[in-house]
Structure 1
Amino acid sequence: MNLKGKRALITGSASGIGHGIAKRFVADGAKVAIADLSLVAAERTAKELTEMGPGEALALEMNVTDEAAVNAGVAEMVKVWGGIDVLVSNAGIQIVHKLEDFPFNEWKKLLSIHLDGAFLTSKAVLPHMYEAGSGSIIFMGSVHSKEASPLKSAYVTAKHGLLGLARVISKEGAEHGVRANVICPGFVKTPLVEKQIPEQAKALGISEKEVVEKIMLGDTVDTEFTTIEDVANVAWLFAAFPTNALTGQSLVVSHGWYMN
């Protein structure tokens, strides 16, 4: 299995987990569209990865909650490379509040980025995949697609929702050779997670050290953070897998925090 010559769209890929996945794909010879809110950051990442090779990268400015922007980005990618083989819907944010204090506008913002973003990008790429008779759609879920934690009502709801969307795409896409799967990482030490540490310490009335050791890593088998490379390798597996034998599935990457 390999991704040589495959064309992949990865949202939120100018940094963090998305960047790691893009780097893994380009290293295997893929053509990767770096879709991000910041065109400057996307261009910087695309240049870096193209110079690394052997694949190449293209920068796209994309707000995944804006249907016109998503459609325009997909159209640009198809114009340049002639099609799309892989979608990794990775763009996401985290907002933490107790449920009774959760501002409705922040609830809607989080769900829109995670769920509307996954829906709109899938809707935009599926016709191209159906025409080609193959494709792989990958959603960035979380251990919170399976579990719940205090303060994360919106995030847990969104990540659970991605499981349902992937399963529907798997059913509808099967006759066209399109599969859909969900990656469910544990805590990966990205800026998104590092931001949560003081926020949760304040909300829960505990130290930042306790947040890391008890809340984030307390249920792992080795008190280790999941790495970006761990997640990127699972994304590569879902993208490169050649048949519908692996579809409608979710794979937890969490150092044993959650075990199916």
Structure 2
Amino acid sequence: MSTTSQETSPRVALVTGTTSGIGAAVVEEFCRQGHQVLAVDFNADGQAVADAAGAVFFQADLTDGEACRAAVAEALRRFGRLDILVNNAGIQHVSSIEEFPEAKWRQIIDLMLTAPFLLTQAAWPSMREGGWGRIINIASVHAQVASPGKAAYISAKHGMIGLTKTAALEGGSQGITANAICPAYVKTPLVDNQIADQAKLHDMDEQQVIEQIMLKNAAVKRLIEPGEVASLVAYLASDLAGAVTGASWNIDLGWTAQ
């Protein structure tokens, strides 16, 4: 296969967390490129998003290991193989370590670290047999640095970087690459929902949260558009990125440049 094409040949992709934000933008971009896409989300509203893009929707609670395996099995049943896996699904809870509920900790770790592992494990045989695979983990700038009030989220994202590196080392000889993308605050419902929680945690109003917390460490003073992240996903899923693996790609508005 030529490595000079600007976009990879049509492939089969599974994307998680697709009802809105980054996941929805990735589904739209992949469908635009002609890929066959299984869009996986817990929220039934994801059906309309998938239909609009031209993807197939699969509803699943990815905190359940069997649901993770079922999602991959559905992609294989419908399309015959699986070439690209984008682990994007995530949730957030903001509170101090002292007050952090154990049930919420377990839910976040299950969804944002255990599920990517199980999905990768289930997708691996198809990628290995095809001699070509792309695993793209949507991490966060909080995979690189920490902030107060997000113990579970930050722990999961740091763990995702380790999973990415291990998958890259194990997959290199089999044509499978693994990379992580680490955005700062993206204009998504997940971020919107954090603003009120952060305001309560830090005793400030919501505009102060945006200016003094979300954009405090950014050189570029704006939120990131989901499509900007989707564009990097598309590159990492392409033939052009065959030599790129085990890397963490920051889209962080200059946050970690300090």
Same fold (TM > 0.5): yes
State the match for 2:87 in structure 1. Answer: 89
Matches within 5 A, 1:186-197: 186-197=184-195
Q: Report the 3-state secondary structure (helix = DSSP H, G, I; strand = E; otherwise coil) of the residue aligned with 2:178.
A: strand
State the match for 2:53 in structure 1. Answer: 49
Extract unaligned runs of 5+ from structure 2.
Answer: 1-5
> 2: distance between equivalents of 1:136 and 1:161?
19
Matches within 5 A, 1:66-77: 66-77=64-75
> 1: distance between equivalents of 2:47 and 2:103?
31
How far residue 207 of structure 1 moved from its aligned partner, in angstroms, is: 1.6
State the match for 1:54 in structure 2. Answer: none
Q: Over the residues paired in the alignment, what is the CA RMSD in angstroms?
A: 1.3
Matches within 5 A, 1:40-189: 40-50=44-54, 57-189=55-187
How far residue 45 of structure 1 moved from its aligned partner, in angstroms, is: 1.8
State the match for 1:20 in structure 2. Answer: 25
Aligned residues: 253
1:219 to 217, 220, 239: 217
| CA deviation map 1:121-147 (0-9, x unaligned) | 101100110111110001110000001
Instruction: State the identity %.
Output: 38
Aligned partners of 1:86 and 1:136 also within 8 Å: yes
> 1: distance between equivalents of 2:209 and 2:19?
28
Aligned partners of 2:21 and 2:187 also within 8 Å: no
> 1: distance between equivalents of 2:161 and 2:227?
22
> 1: distance between equivalents of 2:176 and 2:19?
26
How far residue 222 of structure 1 moved from its aligned partner, in angstroms, is: 2.5
| CA deviation map 1:87-109 (0-9, x unaligned) | 00000000111111111111111
Q: Which moved more, 1:63-72 or 1:191-200?
A: 63-72
How far residue 42 of structure 1 moved from its aligned partner, in angstroms, is: 3.0
> 2: distance between equivalents of 1:137 and 1:156?
20
Aligned partners of 2:12 and 2:79 also within 8 Å: yes
Q: Report the 3-state secondary structure (helix = DSSP H, G, I; strand = E; otherwise coil) of the residue aligned with 1:155.
A: helix
Extract unaligned runs of 5+ from structure 1.
Answer: 51-56
1:31 aligns with 2:29: no
TM-score by structure 2 length? 0.94
Q: Report the 3-state secondary structure (helix = DSSP H, G, I; strand = E; otherwise coil) of the residue aligned with 2:257.
A: coil
| CA deviation map 1:179-224 (0-9, x unaligned) | 1000101101211111111111111111211110010011111311
Q: Report the 3-state secondary structure (helix = DSSP H, G, I; strand = E; otherwise coil) of the residue aligned with 2:82.
A: coil
> 2: distance between equivalents of 1:244 and 1:19?
24
> 2: distance between equivalents of 1:243 and 1:219?
30
Moved over 3 A (4+): 241-244
What letter is aligned with 1:22?
V
> 2: distance between equivalents of 1:49 and 1:67?
27
In structure 2, do the counterparts of structure 1 residues 3 and 63 end up closer, same or farther at CA, with 3 Å as the change threshold? Answer: farther
1:228 aligns with 2:232: no
1:239 to 228, 237, 240: 237
State the match for 2:3 in structure 1. Answer: none
